[in-house]
Amino acid sequence: MASRVTFIGAGNMASAIIGGMIDNGFSPSAITATSPSDAFLAPVHERFGIHTNTDNAAAVGQADVVVLAVKPQMMRDVCEGLRDVVQRRRPLIISVAAGLPAEALEHWLGGDLAVVRCMPNTPSLVGAGAAGLFANANVSDEQRRLATELLEAVGLVEWVEEESLLDAVTAVSGSGPAYFFLMLEAMEDAGVSLGLPAETARRLAMQTALGAAKMAQQSDKTPAELKRNVMSPGGTTERAIEHLESAGLRRIMGEALEACAARAREMADELGTR
């Protein structure tokens, strides 16, 4: 891709996307990341060989795409500091911040801009990300293709046509890796309680998660059917699944994802954008 991409912020999410882009053949020389402190920038420069800059506006001066990857609480100040250069240059803006509406970002950046809101996740770092994207009315088909190309370099891209659905995407896939990491922790602990060495239990749990996800992706059966195929009548899996169901796992997952989406809405309210 010939486009020059500047990341404002060089933390977990920016590093995950940058790493995935480079693994997928994007040129490090077309990527710049910014942060107020060199302490954050030195590791990403060493790791990825990209340009770095402590001056956000200078880094945006050459960019075709600007990825806003700072904490939501900092976004307003960051955007207002970029207003002049963004209005001159008019790059495609892609925000990965949870909660913040495209309209607020556009307003803070001076108005009338093409803004894509993206909710990615950290497995982007290993090329297995999942991102939900929403485009405001100013985004052209060409810019949609550009955003798709950029995010597809690090995984699955799903566009949503209603912005409010990004809160649901946050609940399922944005925060989702943490639920599976929790599950891995719990399965390792349970394996250790049953006598396995911790490393063995961890490797078995990780490979099982990977295998189950791959099977679910590749099979034309639903997860419910695949689950039933593991459950021999009167066997071991049936006993474990009965326990999870009667302990309310489905209800707990539903409540957890609802709490997650509610927090995304609350964050937007706290930042005075709704």
Q: Please answer whether residues 158 and 135 qualify as being in contact, where contact means their C-beta atoms are separated by less than 8 angstroms.
A: no
Which amino acid is residue 214, in one-letter code?
A: K
Q: List the interface residues with ligand A1CAB, window 163-182 (CB under 6 A).
A: 170, 174-175
- If contact means CB under 5 to 8 A according to the sort of partner, which of ligand NAI, ligand A1CAB, none does residue 52 touch? none
Maximal CA-CA distance, the chain: 69
Q: Residue 273 binds which one of ligand NAI, ligand A1CAB, none, with CB within 5 to 8 A depending on kind?
A: none
Q: What residue ranges bind ligand NAI (CB under 6 A)? A: 8-14, 34-36, 40, 56, 69-72, 74, 78, 96-98, 119-122, 174
Q: Please answer whether residues 222 and 236 qualify as being in contact, where contact means their C-beta atoms are separated by less than 8 angstroms.
A: no
Site for ligand A1CAB in 71-100 (CB under 6 A): 98
Residue with tokens 């977990």: 12
Q: Is 12 annotated as a binding residue?
A: yes
Which one of ligand NAI, ligand A1CAB, none interacts with residue 135, CB within 5 to 8 A by kind? none
Say whether 11 counts as a known binding-site residue: yes
CB of 261 to ligand A1CAB, least distance (A): 11
Q: Tell me if residue 154 falls in helix, strand or coil.
A: coil
Q: Return the half-sphere exposure (C-beta side, CA atoms, 13 A cut-off) of residue 249.
A: 9
Cβ–Cβ < 8 Å for 246, 51? no
Q: Which helix (H) or strand (E) holds 52?
A: strand 51-53
Do the annotations mark residue 246 as ligand-binding?
Answer: no
Any binding-site annotation on 70?
yes
Identity of the residue numbered 86: V
Binding-site residue set for NADPH = 56
Binding-site residue set = 8-13, 35, 56, 69-72
Binding-site residue set for NADP(+) = 8-13, 35, 69-72
